[in-house]
């Protein structure tokens, strides 16, 4: 009887470990070390996405760091009705990539990835690569221009081209922090084993 329970417990422990954010998220080597499992490897998934779409791994990972802090079930906080009653969320952003419902549906349709989930790291990183690549093709932003890629990721390609971000100082600061994190991840990645 105990022998039958052990594999179930092991699988539950593995699943629980994948459903939480890594403890060290500001060091890309540590993130990859913490998520280098037998069945899933975040580093392999990120490198596969880089090969597929041309978006550098540090930009992919900085996107996920900025958007969700590597939390698989991240959502924007609810607004408050009368200042204290939890109400609606400001958007449908969800999962590692914080992809909106409509954008995620478009990704699934365009790539044929109908089983993809926003709470699955490999699916979410593939979405991020796809979306940055689409934005690059639409706007002309180079795939290594972290600052502008983030502005387009947040604003959408039409909003970016209209310049909606120009009047949003907070978004510009976030894009700068994002760009700095991508540079940090790039420097760290060179020293990963």
Domain boundaries, the chain: 28-32+40-72+120-190
The pLDDT-based confidence of 9 (bands split at 50, 70, 90) is: very low
DSSP string, the chain: -HHHHHHHHHHHHHHHHHTS--S--S-HHHHHHHTB-SS-BHHHHHHHHHHHH---HHHHHHHHHHHHTT-TT--PPPPEETTTEE---SS--BTTTTB-HHHHHHHHHHHT-TT--TTSHHHHHHHHHHHHHHHHHHH---TT-HHHHHHHHHHHHHHHHHTGGGG-HHHHHHHHHHHHHHHHHHHHHTT--
- Give 73-88 pLDDT, tens digit per residue: 998 877 887 777 787 7
pLDDT at 4: 56
pLDDT single digits (tens) 102-111? 999 999 999 9
Quick one: pLDDT at residue 20?
Answer: 78
């Amino acid at each position: 009887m105990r022998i039958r329970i052990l594999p179930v417990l092991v699988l539950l422990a593995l699943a629980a470990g994948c459903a939480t954010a890594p403890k060290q998220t500001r060091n890309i080597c540590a993130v990859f070390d913490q998520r280098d499992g037998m069945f899933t490897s975040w580093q392999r998934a990120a490198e596969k996405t880089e090969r597929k779409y041309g978006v550098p791994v540090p930009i992919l990972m900085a996107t996920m760091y900025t958007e969700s802090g590597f939390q698989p079930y991240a959502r924007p906080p609810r607004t408050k009705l009368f200042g204290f009653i939890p109400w609606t969320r400001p958007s449908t952003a969800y999962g590692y990539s914080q992809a909106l419902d409509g954008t995620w549906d478009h990704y699934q349709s365009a790539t044929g990835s109908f089983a993809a989930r926003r709470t699955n790291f490999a699916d979410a990183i593939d979405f991020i690569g796809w979306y940055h690549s689409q934005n690059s093709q639409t706007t002309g932003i180079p795939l290594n221009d972290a600052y502008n890629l983030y502005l387009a990721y947040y604003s959408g390609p039409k909003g970016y081209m209209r310049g909606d971000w120009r009047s949003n100082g907070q978004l510009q600061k976030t894009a700068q922090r994002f760009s700095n994190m991508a540079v940090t991840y790039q420097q760290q990645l060179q020293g990963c084993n």
